[in-house]
Chain A
Amino acid sequence: MQWESVIGLEVHVQLSTQSKIFSGASTAYGASANSQACAIDLGLPGVLPVLNEEAVNKAIKFGLAIDAQIADRSVFARKNYFYPDLPKGYQISQFELPIVGRGQLTILLENGTKKTIGVTRAHLEEDAGKSIHDKFAQYTGIDLNRAGTPLLEIVSEPDLRSAQEAVAYLKKLHGLVRYLDISDGNMQEGSFRCDANVSVRPQGQAEFGTRAEVKNINSFRFVEKAINFEVERQIDLIEAGGVVVQETRLYDADRDETRSMRSKEEANDYRYFPDPDLLPLEISANQIASIRGTLPELPDAKRIRFQQQYGLSESDAAQITDSKEMADVFEQILSLGSKDAKLVANWLLGEVTAYLNKYSQEVQNAPIDAKLLAGLFIRIEDKTLSIKMAKEVFASIWSGEGTADEIIDAKGLKQVTDVSALEALVTQVLTDNSAQVEQYRAGTTKVLGFLVGQVMKLSKGQANPQMVNQMLKDKLDV
Chain B
Amino acid sequence: MILDPEQLYKIANLAKLEIAEDTVQPLVEDLSRILSMVEQLNGVETEAVWPMAHPLNATQRLRQDRVTEPDKRTELQSIAPAVEDALYLVPKVIE
Contacts and interface: CB of A to CB of B under 8 A. Distances in A.
A50 B62 CA distance: 7
A83 B93 contact: yes
Interface residues of A, number: 57
A35 B62 contact: no
Nearest to A53: B62
Interface in B62-91: 62-69, 71-73, 76-77, 82, 84-91
Contacts of B64: 53-54
Contacts of B10: 269
Contact of B69 (A24, A132, A269): A24
A280 B93 contact: no
Contacts of B14: 80, 267, 269, 271
B22 interface: no
Contact of A280 (B13, B60, B77): B60
Contacts of A50: 61-63
B59 to A, nearest CB: 4
Contact of B54 (A38, A39, A142, A274): A274
Given A19-B66, A24-B66, A279 B58 contact: yes
A271 to B, nearest CB: 7
A37 interface: yes
Interface string B30-72: 0000000000000000000001011010111111111111011
A361 to B, nearest CB: 30
Contacts of B59: 279-282
Nearest to A250: B95
Interface in A109-156: 131-133, 135-136, 138-144
Given A133-B94, A278-B60, A35 B73 contact: yes
A55 interface: yes
Contacts of A136: 84, 89, 92
Contacts of B66: 18-19, 24
Nearest to A31: B71
A32 B54 contact: no
A200 interface: no
Contacts of A461: none
Nearest to A279: B60
Given A142-B87, A142-B90, A269-B14, A54 B65 contact: yes
Contacts of B87: 33-34, 132, 135, 141-143
A34 B86 contact: yes
Nearest to B75: A39
A18 B63 CA distance: 12
Interface of B: 10, 13-14, 16, 51, 53-54, 56, 58-69, 71-73, 76-77, 82, 84-95
Given A19-B69, A139-B84, A140-B94, 17 more contacts: A19-B66, A19-B67, A24-B68, A38-B76, A50-B62, A51-B62, A133-B94, A136-B84, A139-B92, A140-B93, A141-B85, A141-B88, A261-B95, A279-B54, A280-B54, A281-B60, A282-B59
The list of the 7 closest CB pairs from A to B, nearest first, reads A24-B68, A141-B87, A54-B65, A53-B62, A38-B69, A33-B86, A84-B90
6 contacts: A17-B65, A23-B69, A24-B63, A84-B88, A142-B90, A280-B59
